Every structure is written in C-alpha cells, then in structure tokens.
Amino acid sequence: MRKLFIILILALLASASALAQPYTITQNEIDRAAELVAQMTLDEKISLVAGIDDGFHTAPVERLGIPSVRMADGPQGVRNKTNSTYYPCGIGLAASFNREAAGGVGDGIGLDASARGVRIMLCPGVNIYRTALCGRNFEYYGEDPFLTSEIAVSYIKGIQQHRVMACIKHFAANSQEYQRHLTASIVDERTLNEIYFPAFRKAVEEADVATVMTCYNMLNGLHGAENAWLIKDNLRAWGFEGIIMSDWKSTYTSQGVLNSGLDLEMPLAFTMRPEMVKPLIENGVVPEANLDLMCRHILQSFIAYGLLDLPAQDESIPEDYDYSRQMAYNAAVEAPVLLTNNGLLPVKKGRIVVLGPNANTVAFGGGSGRMSPIPGRNITPLAGLQELGKKFKVQYIENSEFTDDERKAIEKADAVVVVAGFNHDTERENHDRTYSLPEGQNELIAAVSALNSRTVVVINSGGEVDITPFKDSVSAIIMAWYGGQEGGRALADIISGKVSPSGKLPFSFWGSYEKNPAAQYYGPIEPEIHKISPSRNPYPHTSYTEGIFVGYRGVERFCAEPMFPFGYGLSYTAFDYSDASIEPSADGCEVVFTVKNTGKMDAKESVQVYVAPQNPSVLRPAFELKGFDKKLIAKGASQEFRIKLPLSAFSYYDIESHSWKVDPGKYQILIGPSSGDIRLTVDWSI
Ligand code: BGC
C-alpha cells in the first residue's frame, strides 16, 4: 500500500513536470550566445568546438562562465562512469506501440541523468531497420518511419522535460554496422525523405530535440559530419537551431568540418586542433564566421537548458529511483511479442523448468548502448519466474548437457522455458550479426522440445532470427528483445498470464533471410565499376536499391509474403473491430472505430491505421502506417478509438519540386491489429 502511494505521488510529480515549458532557443538565447562569442578569443572558440577529457565532456571556458558539460550514452539508460536504471531497448519500445511507455522511459532517463549531472543524453537512435543483420537494430525502432518518429518524439520529450538535452542519432542512413566507417550508403532523395529522414525531422519539428549526431557512413559520397547537404540543406532547413555533433571519431578534414555546418567534434579534437584550424582562418581559407556560428549553436543550446546558470546535478533525485524502475517495468511489460502459441500460454500454475544461455542473466546488446545496471536491481527471467509465488515450482537447469534427473524434470514440467538469443558479444555495435541463433542454441531447443513439447522459446534479439528449425516443434515463441532490468519480471508476468502480451512486431518477420527484398541490397556490394577496374572505387558501397519499399512497403511490390507481418503480435484475449467512420477535421480527417474485448481477460490492444492511395500519380507503397493507438480494454468492454490523419498522412515526396505533395483523389483507410490483418476499411477523398 505504502509502495503504491509513493509511486502515485511520484507519478503526479512527474506529470506535473511533464507540463513544464520545454527549453527552447528563442531570440534571447541567440543574442546572449552571440554576445559571449564576441568576447571569446580565437583559441577559446577553437577549444569549444571539440570534446575533452574522457570524450564525454565539452570544453569549459571558465573566464566566461561556460561550464564543461557532461554527456552519456543511452539509449537504454545512462551509461559512462555510472550504474543506472537499465530500460528496455529501442526495438522493445517500438514493439510496445505505446507512446506513453516510450515517453515514460525518456522521463526516467531524464531523471537519472539529472541525478548524475549529465546534461546531454546520446539517444535516441532512430536508424531504420532494413534487415535483421544490423548489429544495432536493438537500439533502433524498426522498419517504419511513422512508428519510429512517434516513439522518438515521446522519448525525447520525456528526457528533455528534465532540462536534459537529447541527441538523436545517427543522421542519416546508418542502417548497417559492417565496415561502418568506410561504407558509402547510396540512397535517393525520395527514399531519404520518406524513410530515413522523417524521425529526425519530426524530432526537430515536434519534440524540439536539442542535439543531433551525424553518422559514420558516407551518404551519397560524403561522411555525415562533413556533409553540408545533409546538415545545411536538410537539418538546418527544417529549423534546427541546436547542436550538431559528430559521431565518435568520424571527422576527417578540418575544412570539411568547418564548412559542413557541424558544431561539435567528438569525442576529442582531431580536425579541430588549434594548429590545424588557426592557419585556415588566419589565411582566409575558411571564414571565422563559420567557427563563430559553431560556438553560437553550442552556447545558445546551453543557455536554453540553463547550463550557464543552474547546477548540472539535481541532488534531490535519487540515483536509484523507484519511479525510474516503474517506468522500466511499464515499457518492459508491453514490449514482448508473442509470435506463436498453441494454447500452452498462459501457464497459470505448476512446474516450470527454466534453462538456456540467457535464463539466469539480464541480456543486453553490446557497444555504446551497453550499460552498467545498478547492482541488485536486475531481474533475470529465472528470478522473475521465481518471484511468481506459491502456485509455481520453478527449477533452473544450468547446463545444456542434462543429467538423468534434469531429463526426468524436463519431461514432467508443465512448461519448459528456454531463454535463448543474443547478447553483448553476439549482437553489438560495429558488427553485423548472424541470422541464426548463436551456435548450439537450435540444438538445445531441439533437445528440450524432444523431451517435452510444452516448450516456450524466449528470444533476446534486436530483430528477426531464424526460427524455422524449431517453430513447429515448440508450443510458443516470445520475442523478448532486451527487456532491461525489469525484463525478467515482465516476462514472468506474461508467461503466467498476470498480463496479456500486447507487443507488436515493429518490422516484417520474413521467415527466411533471403525473402526480405532488402536482403539482396544489404551490406557492401561490390560496385560494377570496381569489377571492371578495381583501383577506381576502393570504398564499399551499400546501395539502398529497394528504395521506399522497405519492410511491409515491399510486400506487394516484390510479391514477398512475410511469415509474420509488420504490426503482428498475439494476445491472450480476442478483439472485435467495428463501426468505422470518418469525419473531416481542421487538418485532414479523423477515423473513428470501436474495439471490443471479446475474450476472458483485460488486455491492451494496439490498433493500427494505414493509408492506401487508390490512384496515385507516382509509384507508392500499397499502404503505409499513419496512425496507431493503444488502450487497455476490460474483458467484455468496448473502447472507441479516434485517430487523427492530418493532410500530411496522405503525402509523398515529389522529386521534381523537392517537396511533399498530396494527390487529390481516392484513398482507403485500413484499420486492424496488424498490417496483415485489416478488419475495417473506410473511403476518403481529397
Ligand atoms: C556510437 C554512438 C555513441 C558514441 C559514444 C559511437 O561509437 O556510434 O552512438 O553515442 O560512440 O559512445
């Protein structure tokens, strides 16, 4: 009771702070920053535009009261020299299809950062999922730009309400890790605008994101940090007034950086060393005004976030905070996707055997997203199941070679939970991963399911894996992503039926790697010219030839049926969709429909709304996600959903005019629980 009361108070305080004004840059901040820049020496200016010390601090200018600002990686919590709350990974937040849950994680991270004096959080990561292999898919939000944008906007607002700047990354088209410093992403203008830019643009326009990190890869010939087209013609043109920083060690030339529009070289000065910058300015090769602008962008952001006036650390916030833990659980319980279930789940009582490489650990993806959780706060799947109470007898088997006793136990169990998947070594930054589960895991699942078909396979991963070796011989498969410190508890609550699974796939699950149309264009492909004349093109290219037809957008175009469609996920209850209608609104229309929970338990449902142009003037995907919502619906009860579709939901990027256009004509609005299960259709004309 007392705990509930405290959580309620914390929630009230948090929602009060959610109403606080965002820390925006206005003319006042711009003027004050410009005045400071005018007082700075050339050396001071050069020092401000690169990181220092451990590579997670900006340089101070003490004479002018400019502090060194501490930053830390996300996106799963506050990393770098601290133990902190470990939240579910990005793909899990996307799978929740829940803006509130994503906002709650941002909220928790903002508080955790404030408590530690961290004022720039290097998250969220919003690169689009093309295939399962990208080693950082787990940090990102899947294949759909609309879902990605909405989740990112909520997450960023959650962080920034606490006077902590979010840094959206990696701008842009950084969808593979293999040879990430060298690879040139070749992407056409329409595809960039429709698929790879929207999350960045919405973060600028709707969340007022404070900082942006450029990408490692080259985009159409230039590295992100030195790509003036990317930075000035796009990002700044969207009205971005904040700080643009390089990814770590991704700058190459002083002139390139000084001219591209980048503001901050990270983690340290490489190209921004005084001996390199000074001659360029003193000899008039680069105008000093470029350096002044870089400094102004940095300072106006610092001023907007009170960094020149207020202490960096908020000591009133505990470093290990009940409220943050609650936010981690809220997202963790909505993230898992139930892929298959022959009726075994939920298991409401009985003997459960738990085993597998990730059963007694809290798995996480590796690289900069890896973090150090607070000791004693990690709830492993085993611990989560053990917490369930008297109705369950839980046995853990550590080894994959079973003793006779362990074999007797597996056979008699009411359910055997195999927690499989990847970890920080096998799925991580700077590497792409395998499509199959790591070595030995298919064999382990086969051995277990041969003894007892009441087997539940739980998979930790950032995307699709090859489930064909065991799909038909086990009773249920749960995609659990990396669930964070509360992931084990959330998983146990789902397995035991305390909560119905409500996660939906944020990518198309093809069922074989080759079936994904993007697979043939993924990864460095040897350019034709290189075959003829090897010395002419030494850089590996990855050409995004599937264009705008990424994921479910390619289903019709490439006649490729996924095994499980985008947006798919099973529940323990059933939902009936009815009574769709559409009403004009000030800016487009509003779709209204009813969903009834016809099953036997209260459960959440994510509804999805897709727009299908009927007579497009250009080639377009058959339909695209343009709205979603999620509500708890009590058993037997109905809920009305109202989804707004602004005019922009009907638009496409026109390469002739370099702008967004809406074709007059007929559209169908498709409503359902997934992209492969459309239950209601309404017509709309523009
Ligand atoms: C990653 C970034 C990260 C940075 C700092 C880089 O390797 O690509 O996402 O924020 O390191 O750790």
**Atom number in ligand 1 closest to CA 267:** 5
pLDDT digits (tens, 9 = 90+) for 434-463: 999 999 999 999 999 999 999 999 999 999
Rounded Cα distance between 534 and 514, Å, is: 28
Q: What is the pLDDT of residue 540?
A: 79
CA of 565 to the centre of ligand 1 (A): 31
DSSP secondary structure letter of residue 200: H
What is the predicted pLDDT for the residue at 527?
Answer: 64
Pocket residues: Cβ below 6 A from ligand 1: 73, 122, 169, 247-248, 368
State the average pLDDT over residues 371-385: 95
Mode of pairing for the β-strands spanning 392-396 and 350-355: parallel
Q: Which helix (H) or strand (E) holds 644?
A: strand 638-646
Give every CB contact of residue 411 below 8 A, 6+ residues apart in sequence.
451, 452
What share of the chain in percent tops pLDDT 70? 95
**CA–CA separation, 326 vs 7, rounded Å?**
8
Q: What is the pLDDT of residue 21?
A: 54
pLDDT on residue 6: 46
Q: Is the separation of the CB atoms in 219 and 173 below 8 Å?
A: yes
**Rounded to the nearest 10 degrees, how much is the dihedral formed by the CA atoms of 61, 66, 72, 76?**
-160
C-alpha–C-alpha distance, residues 419 and 456, integer Å: 8
User: Position 354: which residue type?
Assistant: V
- For the cut 80, the answer to whether the pLDDT of residue 15 exceeds it is no
Two structure tokens written together for 13: 């305080």
- Please check whether residue 170 is in contact with residue 224, taking contact to mean a CB–CB distance below 8 angstroms: yes
Closest residue to atom 8 of ligand 1, CA basis: 247
Say what the pLDDT of residue 105 is: 98
Q: What is the pLDDT of residue 473?
A: 98
Report the pLDDT averaged over residues 474-498.
Answer: 98
For residue 506, cis peptide bond before it (omega within 30 degrees of 0): no
- How close is the Cα of 391 to the center of ligand 1, in Å? 45
Maximum distance among all alpha carbons in the chain? 82
| Calpha distance 684→671 (Å, rounded) | 13
Sorted by where each starts, the structural domains of the chain and their CATH numbers stand as 2-304 (3.20.20.300), 336-495 (3.40.50.1700), 575-685 (2.60.40.10)
Q: pLDDT tens for residues 388-419?
A: 999 999 999 999 999 999 998 999 999 999 99
DSSP characters for 407-442? Answer: HHHHHH-SEEEEEEE--TTTSBTTS---SSPSTTHH
Catalytic positions, please?
247
Q: Whose CA is nearest to atom 9 of ligand 1?
A: 368
- pLDDT score of 57 more than 60: yes
Inform me whether the pLDDT recorded for 352 exceeds 50. yes
Which pLDDT belongs to residue 532?
75
Specify the ligand 1 atom closest to the Cα of 80: 12
CA of 140 to the centre of ligand 1 (A): 13
Closest-CA residue, ligand 1 atom 3, reads 368
Beta-bridge partner residues of 661: 652
* Distance (Å) from CA 263 to ligand 1 centroid: 17
Atom of ligand 1 nearest to the CA of 216: 8
